[in-house]
Chain A
């Protein structure tokens, strides 16, 4: 740990990276001020509002006046309806209609005969790149009455149709054919044929995803042997389940799915976590702490670390046997010492439970209580404490434990731990720095007196 620290130090000092530094002597940004001053000093000679014509008018929101998005708001605003009707109830569509409905495109017109050129309508557009002439003057209704794909009866014809569609690369046409095939072929045959036609297969998967035909999609993935994809797709469904008990049960049902070994561990943890959260959620919240710091949100569906934080906050002292005990959570999910430590530290600091914070460091040191140990660098510890607005008296205990003198001084200065700064300079025998620091201290303060005493101490052999 400490060696690491030193390496890091070394790295910083020797670092060749000049990661976007702003050198003092060449501070381009002092020039920003300069240009700002200049801007302000140039007084508008004419009022800016009567802008000349060539400068486009811009509303405050920045939309140029007359732009489309600006006008959408403008023309709509002049049209405010006060008697806004409730939304029309959604039409209940027959779910089976997908498979029953005929394709709207008169595809047979495109696939007259079997010659390649006959991808007529779409191919004209495909290969006639000069800006498209308006083409679809014909009305929708006439298109609907046109002969559809029904005449492709034999499997061979249908597959040929699909291959033509694929070779034209127009996803729209491919989808149209797929919808027809889905309706007229058995799943087994369709899946089998798609396996040899990767492009069509991808479009089919896209189509099923878009139309939310989850059941068939899962079957297809299974048939293709893409079991991990299938497992993930199924797992994804939990996001749509609002009721926590149903969601938990669903996650439990996911445990048997063929995830990759790593993912299956995570899914299991997910299930265990939600199960645990449901238990924690219903624990009566009678203790004083819940009154003093009322919960802002339910713990359900929160991440694991958030849950641990919650338990460190509200259930810290509970024995390891209870489900809501932080130690139990740590055990169940095999959290690392570091993860547990950071979370507990933040939670106890937030509550200003400084003795608890202190205990986190000392309890694990059996050889002697003089030295605090931490799986986290003390710099980070100070950081966490500071973020939770720890007072200087608390901070300085931990700043003092930062090993590296330079870093310690920087931190101590930042957090106004004067004693540490002074003591460190004394240990470094750096009289100059001490003199400099004295100048920053208030007249007659204890710090000033302490520095004066040190400076007058003839025992110290100053290095400068």
Chain B
């Protein structure tokens, strides 16, 4: 089920198993038959940890979605609420508990908070007069969820907003705790590097937690050599750019949530031999996307322009494999062919799916609108005319394109120009407010606080220096056979990943000047290992770095890091962790006030 988690350099299945164990322990605590009432948001992340069968083995007989009113009847002894610590959910729970018919079959109530208990929530339950109805109030610490063999996410949606807008560091505390859990399982990480205020803060908390927990030494041989903590606000530019890898584009266009994507069904209608095509399904087609699927693992990180070729190559291989049946003469050969059939069938349907997805995406990437948008992005990233009002943006506003698109572009221009001139900024703001509504003053203010929009200070624009020193723009990005990470954005090399690359070689000392231009401190810390746990490295053995993006990471950045891991001479393998998997749209949305009121 989760075999793909153990394929990588670091067996992330250990983490998943630990989480499953804890879940079983909690369920066993509530003896007898039970029903789980789910905060719907949690079913996705939980699905990555456990299947229904596991719950069933522990006497979970029914599962419901949390909603107001009366709980559905279920002949069970225990009702367990699996919820995020949110006040509005507490009100619903209180309502549920109150409507319970006390005369009939009294049921025991339990709450499992994910990922943390909350004082505020318990107080709310108390105010509502139901706190005493709960036999058990517990927490299920699900900080880092394994998404793939090399990818962990906290799926903490508001982390960036909380850190950089509201200055609330709760998510950093959870991050530090998550990293402590990780070290408990995979050994102390001897070297910690970081860049940014939040990175500094997390490192401090980790060191402190380790110090105060001097009781027992961690006796596990370290799996990770290095931890790199990166603040998202060190690189505000990258997520704003349109991702051009296959997986990145799927996310940009359709959105990937908890490893699933929902696609328009038309292209996926199955036509069976000799069957009249049935009515087209109207439900979106839902697909799971991870490296367990061989073909997807192969193409997910490619530039989209190289996906067509890869798919066609794969098609030829599969065709050839099917043709093999004509050559199978002896019983043994036939038997061998048949034994391979399941695998071939899976490969075939996987190919069919991805061909359809690629077609859907192609329709969009070949459109004029996509081209124009990308052209402007690339102008900004190369520093063309970033200091004046851009006519394309102006036209988009006049056409009332989605507000988020406008905000992405204006933010990008601002970031690439190290802030906009007063006149330009005022002009954009006015246009946006007049066209989309004055209430967006709130959103614009948020973007300013987060540094995405800003007024140019008297100091000169240092973006060109950063771009040149870190080689953020590569003229001859090779999309088909990449030799540099810039292929993920067809020219732009993500700043965050460049920092990671330079850290590995030749080291940050070579870019001190640039590091000073980027916000927040950069630092290095060492954690003492108990004697005997120092790794004896084999000749030519790769080192492993855990890169933690505080505030979110995009799929294109992940692709770039995977590319570095695969480079023969890099000598480094990367495992990626983040507070949230994001793209420019979901990111900007998380910073908006009342994004739902946005007119389209």
> Which positions in A face B, CB cutoff 8 Å?
16-22, 27-32, 34-39, 41-46, 48, 51-52, 54-56, 58, 60-64, 66-72, 75-76, 79, 81, 84-88, 90-91, 93-94, 97-98, 101, 103-105, 123, 126-132, 134, 136-137, 139-141, 144, 169-173, 175-176, 179, 198-199, 202-203, 205-207, 210-211, 232, 235-236, 238-239, 262-263, 266-267, 269-270, 273, 301-306, 333, 335, 339, 342, 380
Contacts and interface: CB of A to CB of B under 8 A. Distances in A.
B395 interface: yes
Interface stretch (B147-155, B408-416, B427-435, B579-587): B427-435
B205 interface: yes
Given A72-B65, A232-B441, A270-B438, A103 B119 contact: yes
A103 B184 CA distance: 32
Interface in B327-382: 341-342, 345-346, 348-349, 351-352, 355, 358-359, 362, 365-366, 370-371, 374-375, 378-379, 382
Contacts, number: 335
Contacts of A35: 308, 311-312, 314-315, 351, 355
B468 interface: no
A199 B134 CA distance: 32
The 3 closest A-B CB pairs, nearest first, are: A62-B286, A127-B213, A28-B308
B387 to A, nearest CB: 16
B29 A134 contact: yes
Contacts of A69: 43-44, 47
Interface in B160-210: 166-170, 173, 176-177, 180-181, 183-185, 205, 208-210
Given A38-B351, A46-B341, A269-B434, 6 more contacts: A29-B308, A60-B283, A72-B43, A104-B122, A127-B213, A306-B599
B532 to A, nearest CB: 19
Contacts of B87: 210-211
Contacts of B398: 339, 342, 380
Interface stretch (B123-131, B512-520, B533-541): B123-131
Contacts of B319: 38, 41-42
Contacts of A90: 91, 95
A130 B210 CA distance: 12
B355 A39 contact: yes
Contact of B70 (A45, A62, A85): A85
B438 A269 contact: yes
Nearest to B210: A127
B181 A131 contact: yes
A303 B260 contact: no
B53 to A, nearest CB: 6
Contacts of A34: 312, 315
B553 interface: no
B181 A76 contact: no
A5 B131 CA distance: 70
A36 to B, nearest CB: 5
A352 B16 CA distance: 63
A30 B262 CA distance: 25
25 contacts: A20-B305, A20-B365, A29-B366, A32-B358, A45-B322, A56-B1, A62-B262, A63-B286, A66-B53, A71-B52, A72-B43, A79-B64, A85-B69, A85-B70, A101-B123, A129-B180, A171-B173, A175-B118, A203-B170, A205-B166, A206-B166, A232-B441, A236-B593, A269-B438, A302-B437
Contacts of B439: 238-239, 270
Main secondary structure of the interface of B (DSSP, over half): helix
A401 B152 CA distance: 57
B309 A28 contact: yes
Contacts of A66: 51-53
B120 A20 contact: no
B288 to A, nearest CB: 7
Interface of B: 1, 18, 21-22, 25-26, 29, 38, 40, 43-44, 46-47, 50-53, 55, 61-65, 68-70, 72-74, 87, 91, 94-95, 98-99, 116-120, 122-123, 126-129, 131-132, 134-138, 141, 166-170, 173, 176-177, 180-181, 183-185, 205, 208-210, 212-213, 215, 244, 260, 262, 270, 273, 281, 283-288, 305-309, 311-312, 314-316, 318-319, 322, 325, 341-342, 345-346, 348-349, 351-352, 355, 358-359, 362, 365-366, 370-371, 374-375, 378-379, 382, 395, 398, 400, 426, 429-431, 433-439, 441-442, 445, 475, 490, 593-594, 597, 599
A374 to B, nearest CB: 13
Contact of B345 (A48, A56, A126, A270): A48
B432 to A, nearest CB: 10
Contact of A129 (B44, B209, B270, B322): B209
B374 to A, nearest CB: 5
B136 A81 contact: no
A382 B553 CA distance: 41
A167 B135 CA distance: 31
B316 A38 contact: yes
A175 B283 contact: no
A127 B305 contact: no
Nearest to B130: A91
B64 A20 contact: no
B205 A39 contact: no
Contact of B69 (A88, A207, A266): A88
A104 B437 CA distance: 44
Nearest to A172: B119
Contacts of A36: 355, 359
A165 B29 CA distance: 30
Given A68-B52, A71-B63, A31 B47 contact: no
A126 B212 contact: yes
B434 A236 contact: no
B181 to A, nearest CB: 5
Nearest to B475: A16
A189 to B, nearest CB: 22
Contacts of B431: 339
A38 B315 CA distance: 6
A357 B445 CA distance: 38
Nearest to B208: A169
Contacts of B26: 134
B549 to A, nearest CB: 21
Contacts of B69: 84-88
A138 to B, nearest CB: 10
A382 B138 CA distance: 64
B288 A79 contact: no
A46 B490 contact: no
Contacts of B262: 62
B167 to A, nearest CB: 5
Given A64-B288, A76-B72, A206-B166, A98 B312 contact: no
A131 B142 CA distance: 11
Contacts of A170: 173
Contacts of A79: 62, 64, 72-74
Nearest to B395: A380
A199 B166 contact: no
Contact of B375 (A17, A207, A333): A17
A32 B355 contact: yes
A132 B316 CA distance: 51
Contacts of B281: 60
Contact of B342 (A52, A60, A139): A52
Contacts of A48: 270, 345, 349
Contacts of B70: 84-85, 87-88
Contacts of B314: 35
Given A67-B52, A267-B441, A81 B72 contact: yes
Contacts of A61: 283-284, 286
A67 B184 contact: no
A101 B308 contact: no
A139 B133 CA distance: 11
Interface centre among B63, B138, B349 (most CB of A within 10 A): B63
A223 B480 CA distance: 59
Contacts of A128: 213, 215
A101 B127 contact: yes
A417 B50 CA distance: 63
